[in-house]
Amino acid sequence: MNLRRDVFQAIADPTRRAILMLVASQSMTAGAIAANFDTARPTVSKHLSILTECELLEPEQSGREVIYHLNPKKMKEIADFIEPFRQLWEDRFNKLEAIMKNYKPKK
Amino acid sequence: MERKTKLTAEEGKQELVVTREFDLPLELLFKAYEDPEIVEQWMGTKVLKLENHAHGGWQYETSDPKGNVVFRANGVIHEFVPQQRITRTFEMENTPFPVQLEFFEFESLSPETSRLVMKIVYKSVADRDQMLKLPFAQGINMAHNKLQEVVNKLK
């Protein structure tokens, strides 16, 4: 259960946001990403695994290195995070409309 | 796909406006909010109480297929003007979300069409944003749960 990550939790952290910005500019190895930060390598690795768990990053094994790519689909989901809320109401209202179109008043 | 339902959530404001135009006469649209049996059908929830008058209370409850209550909400109706307006409070039970204030404005556009403007006021900007994210977060959790089910079957 603790492994379940919330995307919003993931992007709430400034280091993780910085990592996403970096990888957005170009796909990078874990080592190259870590070189951009003063934090210890295991800390960066931890951030990378959280971002991967949330599917914001996609790791690709390349020889002995892992290259991280940005998952634009997931990023778009965050940009559209209020869309599911709108969709929820759209579905409800569509249902309301369908029901009332067939409504026959009780006599 | 046509987007009939519009959502406005201005940044930094603790309110939210949902607007929808219906291919329904105003009377039928209002009826869908007034009649508990119809509310149950389109909201997919059980109506425990719906007292359509000022100072009246309302309470809805949703259960999962096993009969466990997964959602219960209640509030007080402050204004109930047929074919025009409902003002009410909304509070989800057993959650940390504070009570919210809701204004429903019903309007006739033509003999066959009508509009509903639903304005919701939250306690804070953060509370509004949290509420907005809820269906998104639930969608992700559902995807996670489904994945977990598949993984469990593989074991």
How far from A90 is each of A6, A47, A87, CA to CA, in Å? 25, 36, 5
Cα-based angle B154, B64, B73 (whole degrees, multiple of 5) = 135
B87: closest CA of chain A, how far (Å): 18
Residue B153, judged by CB atoms within 10 A of its CB (0-12, 13-18, 19+), counts as exposed
Average pLDDT, integer, range A17-25: 84
B16: closest CA of chain A, how far (Å): 11
**What are the structural domains, with CATH classification, of chain A?**
7-80 (1.10.10.10)
B32: nearest CB among A77, A87, A100: A100
Closest chain A CA to residue B40: A96
Which helix (H) or strand (E) covers residue A4, if one does? none
| pLDDT attached to residue B149 | 61
| pLDDT attached to residue B60 | 96
Q: Domain limits of chain B?
A: 16-123, 125-155
| pLDDT attached to residue A17 | 81
Contacts of B31 in chain A (CB under 8 A): 100, 103
**What is the biggest distance separating any 2 CA atoms in chain A, rounded to whole angstroms?**
77
Contacts of A96 in chain B (CB under 8 A): 22, 29, 32, 42
Round to whole Å and give the CA distance between A80 and A74: 10
A48: closest CA of chain B, how far (Å): 19
| pLDDT attached to residue B80 | 98
Predicted TM-score (pTM) of this structure? 0.66
Write down the architecture of domain B16-123 according to CATH: 2-Layer Sandwich (3.30)
- pLDDT tens per residue across all 155 residues of chain B: 456 889 888 878 899 999 999 999 999 999 999 999 999 999 989 999 999 999 999 999 998 888 888 889 999 999 999 999 999 999 999 888 999 999 999 999 999 999 999 999 999 988 998 888 777 666 655 555 555 565 566 55
What ipTM was predicted for this assembly? Answer: 0.83
